[in-house]
Amino acid sequence: MTTAGLADARRAWYDGDAETTLALCDALERDERTATDSALLRARVYLRMQRADDARVLLGSPAERTYYAWRQGNAVRVPMDTLRRVGYIAGIYKALQIVYSDAHLADSWVKRPNKAFGGQSPLDRMRGGDVVDLAAVRTYVDAARAPWS
């Protein structure tokens, strides 16, 4: 898929059509030229479902103005740390969609307490603000997804 496919995915994103955006992101990720943009879009869909404060923390606590510029699709320069965080978030989202056939269960899993995270929810763990917290949740979901891979 080319940049035309990326434009379609962005249009679906702005229209609020998360399902279409994610389907287009799946196709875009197969093309190296659009894989990074696709991961950013996928993370935006997932982060839109979270509170703005949570989303900012998950992305490394950028300045509020910068965060809202990113949300509007005006990412001029994205730091490497943020791209790494976006990769973890997109991976967590995608793995949960594989593990749970019901999208509601996949989305609510992040907010439910989990013994693996000391009784706190995965979202609480990720709110720790460090990339290591995102990596811990990603590792956990990837291990759960392994039988379906």
Q: How many structural domains does the chain have?
A: 1
**In a domain? residue 131:** yes
Whether 148 has a pLDDT exceeding 60, the answer reads: yes
**In a domain? residue 16:** no
Residue 148 makes CB contacts below 8 A (sequence gap 6+) with: 98, 99
Model pTM score? 0.65
User: Where do runs of H (alpha helix) occur along the chain?
Assistant: 3-14, 18-28, 35-48, 52-58, 64-71, 80-99, 103-109, 122-126, 131-145
**In a domain? residue 52:** no
Domain of residue 139 covers 79-149
**In a domain? residue 112:** yes
Q: Mean pLDDT highest for which of 37-41, 44-48, 84-88, 132-136?
A: 132-136
